[in-house]
Structure 1
Amino acid sequence: MKEYLHKTIPNLKPFDYARHHDDLFINQQWVLVNGISKKKSIYTFRKDNILEISRKQSIIETSWTIDIQNVFSIETEDGLITVKAYFKDDDVLVLNHQNKKEFALFINTANYDEDVNSIEDVQAFLKEKYKQKVANLIYGHEFYYIEKSEEFGPFTVEELEEKAKKEEISMYCFVRDINENDYSKRLRIYDLIKEL
C-alpha cells in the first residue's frame, strides 16, 4: 500500500513527531481535499486528542491517538481507522489508510487569503503556493548563461534581468543552475524572470 501512495504522490516525508507535531499538525485547520466538491470538511487535531471536524455550520467532535510508531487511530463516522501520516510539505498532509488502498489529502490554508471550497480552488491554492516557492528559490540563487557558445556567470536572476533590460544579453539565452552540469533543461533567462 505504501508503494501505491508514493507512486501517486511522490516525495512524501513520514510524520516526524519532533518536527511536525507541535508546529505543523496540532491546532491547524486541515481542509480535506477528497470530496471537497460535495462537502467541505475542515479537520483540526487538538492537543487533548480531540478531533474537530467542521462542515458548514456543524462541528463534530471525535478523537484521535498516535502510537510510538507514529500510527494514528482516528474515530470517524465510519468507525475507527488507522492511518500513517506523511507531509508533502508544511501545508500538504496525507493520511494513508493502513487497511485499504486509500488515502486522504489535506491542505492547510492558514496563510492563504482565498476560500477553498472546490477542486478549482484547491488547484489555485497549490498553483499559488508552488509559484511562491519557486520564486523564493530563484531569488538569491545563481545561474550561468551561455551565449554564442561561451559561458558566463554565475549571476543572480536580478542581475540577468538587468543585463537583458539593458540589451547586453538576450532574454532567450539558455541558463543553468550553478549545481547543474549542462543546459539540458533548456531553461532561458526569460523563463526565470517570468517566475518572479
Structure 2
Amino acid sequence: MKKLLESILPRVQKYSKQINDESILKNKQWVLIDEHGITFVTYIFRDKNLLLVSKKGNVSKGSWEYISKDKILITVEDKTYLYRNQYFDDKILLLKKDSSELYDIFINDSLIDEGYDSLEKLEILFKKSYLVDEAQKNSKISSSYNSEVNILKDESKDTTNGAKANGKFITKLLITLLVIASLVWLILGYL
C-alpha cells in the first residue's frame, strides 16, 4: 500500500483540499479501507467535534479537532492519534499518522456504491480523475509545440526579404525555445 501511495501521491496532491474544509469533512460517512479492501469501519465527523465510529454496526463515540490546516487530532476508544493530511476531497480522505509511515485511507461511502472498494480501484479513480487530465494537457502542449515548429520552418523558407526574414526567424526561434523551456519546467514540476 505504501508503495502505491508514494507513487501516485506526488502527482495528485496539488488537487487536494485543506483538511479544515468542514463542508466536505462533516456529516458524511467515511469508510476505512486497507490492503484487503473495505474494513466496514465508518467514521462520521459531526458538529461540536463529535466523532462517531461504527464497526459493523457497533457505534462508539470519539472526538476530532483541527490542529492546523493540514493536521487533525482523532480520539477513539481512549486512544488519540495525530494525522497529517496527505489528500482530501469529497471522495477520498488520506491521512498519514504523524512521524510515521502509516496511512489511513477513508473513502466516502458513495464510492462503495460505485464499485471503488479496493486500493487498486482507488488508484484507477485517481488516474481517471486527475492523471488523465495531466496527460491531455501534456498532449496539448506537445501539439502546440509542433505547430510553432512548423510555423518557424515555413517562415525560414521565406527568403524574399533576406536578412530581415532571418532576423525574424531567429527572434521567433528564441521565443519558441523560451516557451518550450518554460513548458518543460512546468511538466517536470507536475511529475
TM-score range for the pair, normalised by the shorter chain length: 0.5 to 0.7
Give the counterpart letter for 1:105 in structure 2: I
Q: How does 1:20-35 map to 2 (within 5 A)?
A: 21-34=21-34
Corresponding residue of 1:145: none
Aligned residues: 137
Q: How does 1:6-85 map to 2 (within 5 A)?
A: 9-10=9-10, 11-13=12-14, 16=18, 21-34=21-34, 37=37, 39-77=39-77, 79-85=79-85
CA change 1:38–1:47 in 2 (3 A) is closer
- Deviation string, structure 1 residues 25-82 (Cα, Å, up to 9, x no partner): 1112111112655832111111210111112121111111112454211112371111
Q: How does 1:72-111 map to 2 (within 5 A)?
A: 72-77=72-77, 79-87=79-87, 89-110=89-110
Q: Choose which of 112, 116, 120 in structure 2 pairs with 1:123.
A: 120
TM-score (ref. length: structure 1) = 0.53
Q: Choose which of 177, 193, 196 in structure 1 pairs with 2:139.
A: 177
Give the counterpart letter for 1:53 in structure 2: V
| Kept in 1: contact 2:31–2:38 (CA 8 A) | no
Aligned with 1:177: secondary structure? helix
CA change 1:95–1:131 in 2 (3 A) is closer
Give the counterpart letter for 2:41 in structure 1: S
Q: Which has the higher helix share?
A: 2
Unaligned runs of 5+ in 2: 147-191
Q: Quote how far apart the aligned CAs of 1:123 are.
A: 3.4
Give the counterpart letter for 1:47 in structure 2: D
- Larger radius of gyration between Structure 1 and Structure 2: 2
Give the counterpart letter for 1:72 in structure 2: I
Q: Quote how far apart the aligned CAs of 1:129 are.
A: 6.8
Aligned with 1:178: secondary structure? helix
| Kept in 2: contact 1:49–1:64 (CA 8 A) | yes
CA change 1:102–1:91 in 2 (3 A) is same
Output the CA distance in 2 between the equivalents of 1:123 and 1:177. 26
Higher relative contact order (CA 8 A, sep 6+): 2
Aligned with 1:127: secondary structure? helix
CA change 1:35–1:77 in 2 (3 A) is farther
TM-score (ref. length: structure 2) = 0.54
CA change 1:15–1:72 in 2 (3 A) is farther
Q: Which has the higher strand share?
A: 1
